[in-house]
Chains A and B, each alone.
Chain A
Amino acid sequence: MKRLTLPLSPQVLSDLHAGESVLLSGTIYTARDCAHKRLFELLDRGEPLPFPLENAIIYYAGPCPAPAGKVCGSCGPTTSARMNAYAPRLLDLGLGGMIGKGEMSEETGKALQRNGKVYFAAIGGAGATYGNAVKKMRCIAFPDLLSEAVYEMTVEEFPLVVAMDSFGKSVYGRN
């Protein structure tokens, strides 16, 4: 299995193909529905985002609280399709890719292709595995959203599948 370290270079991205499994390490940012809504409000007002969008990876996830002595609680992916409304614009503004679960729209697929980026599928329901792979975590925006806030996470060997690649191919299209 390929081991990838963030940020991903254009060369690495162009060598990722739908259906292959990878282990991803590096810094990522969580955002779900409510956080995306607020990120868009900031963009519309021309204000800076809580993290630099360029080459950043957004993880569609809302973790459980961390038990005492642990960095993070259970933290698997949420359904990505709800973020189709946001992903294309963020990709066009420099977003490096996304991690979530389930198929995303054709429009998102086209935005990935036009920007040479990749959408990774984490395994839904495997929250304990992903939470355990989070080595550092801090809330960087919207703390009132609780689990839906934006968290900066340093993760080690997240098991992922390349779901939609930079060539317009999708693991979901093979059915």
Chain B
Amino acid sequence: MRLVNTSEIADCVYRLALKAGRSLTDDCRAALRAATEREQGAAKFALSAALENEICAKREQIPVCQDTGMAVVLLELGQEIFLEGAPLSEAVDGGVRRAYAEGYFRKSICDPLTRKNTGDNTPAHLHTEIVEGDKIAVTFLPKGFGSENMSALKMLTPAEGTEGILEFIVNTVKAAGSRPCPPVYVGVGIGGCFDSCAFLAKKALTREIGSRNPRADVAQIEEEALKRVNALGIGAQGFGGAVTALGVSCEIAPTHIAGLPVAVNIQCHCVRCEKEIL
């Protein structure tokens, strides 16, 4: 058994949140560079501006995007760990609160009805998975809502199959159009039940852009979906072009004999995601 104080998790969340807000992931930067080479006109202008913007954010020590997002925190907690200290969710919120205050990040969380801002960007969306071992894997994904708003979930019928999945992915990106800050990164959940399917889609967004699912049939869906999405011609910021998506990642889980849930979680071109193992 390993004893861990939750203040260590709070400190880790704080570090990851600060870093995530101020930089793109390496794979996102590489994908944007590659896209810049393929485009022209207004789309090329937009992609170059996105790359220059990250340099500016690092130099000025300010967030790359003013939408510093809802704090999504994924914890993979080894079952040999015993946690002591403040309750886990309080510790995570504490790390978020500190990073968003000290980093001069925007506080974007509010009551859904009164719209009153909570003032410190908490609560975080914390998802904890108990896994084997005595390590803690922490992932911090600040999720902007320009793209989150364009996400969708559909309960397909088993008869609709792979073609139905592909159609739903393409139609969701098409309906989003210029609004989610394309070129987008598309996270797809296939299977599970209503809520776990949506979570699979979110988890897919924590994967490296361009990585492929180890299952060949799922990898094929990723490749075919990317091809079809890019054929839409939406392009960077909706200005038209060959790159509407930087990548498509699918996660899969067993589902019920009567169903085929599919969730599409859209991420803008400003992919920010940091990981650390404690």
Contacts and interface: CB of A to CB of B under 8 A. Distances in A.
B268 interface: yes
A9 B256 CA distance: 63
Contacts of A171: 42, 238-240
Given A64-B62, A127-B63, A121 B237 contact: yes
Interface in B224-252: 232-235, 237-240
Interface centre among A121, A128, A172 (most CB of B within 10 A): A128
Given A79-B146, A125-B50, A101 B181 contact: yes
Interface stretch (A70-78, A85-93, A110-118): A70-78
Interface residues of A, number: 39
Contacts of A101: 146, 178-179, 181, 237
B42 to A, nearest CB: 5
Interface in A57-112: 61-67, 70, 73-76, 78-79, 81, 101-103
Interface residues of B, number: 46
A73 B42 contact: no
Contacts of B60: 70, 128, 131-132
Interface string B138-179: 000000001001000000000000000000000000000111
Contacts of A102: 146, 177-181, 237-238
B193 interface: no
Chain B interface, DSSP helix/strand/loop, else mixed: loop
Interface string B51-69: 0111011001111111110
Given A73-B62, A73-B66, A129 B237 contact: no
B233 A175 contact: yes
A26 interface: no
A129 B178 contact: no
A146 B107 contact: yes
B63 A103 contact: no
Contact of A103 (B179, B268, B269, B270): B179
Contact of B52 (A70, A75, A129, A147): A129
Interface in B175-191: 177-181
Given A125-B181, A172-B178, A175-B232, A62 B106 contact: yes
Given A62-B106, A63-B106, A81-B179, A128 B62 contact: yes
Closest 8 pairs (CB-CB, A-B): A128-B57, A124-B181, A125-B270, A126-B53, A127-B66, A74-B63, A102-B179, A102-B178
28 contacts: A19-B42, A62-B106, A64-B66, A66-B104, A73-B104, A74-B57, A74-B64, A74-B65, A79-B180, A101-B179, A102-B179, A123-B50, A125-B269, A126-B65, A127-B62, A127-B64, A127-B66, A128-B54, A129-B53, A131-B60, A131-B66, A132-B56, A146-B119, A159-B45, A161-B42, A172-B238, A172-B239, A174-B240
Interface of B: 41-42, 45-46, 49-50, 52-54, 56-57, 60-68, 104-108, 115, 117, 119, 146, 149, 177-181, 232-235, 237-240, 268-270
Interface of A: 19, 21, 34, 61-67, 70, 73-76, 78-79, 81, 101-103, 121, 123-129, 131-132, 146-147, 159, 161, 171-172, 174-175
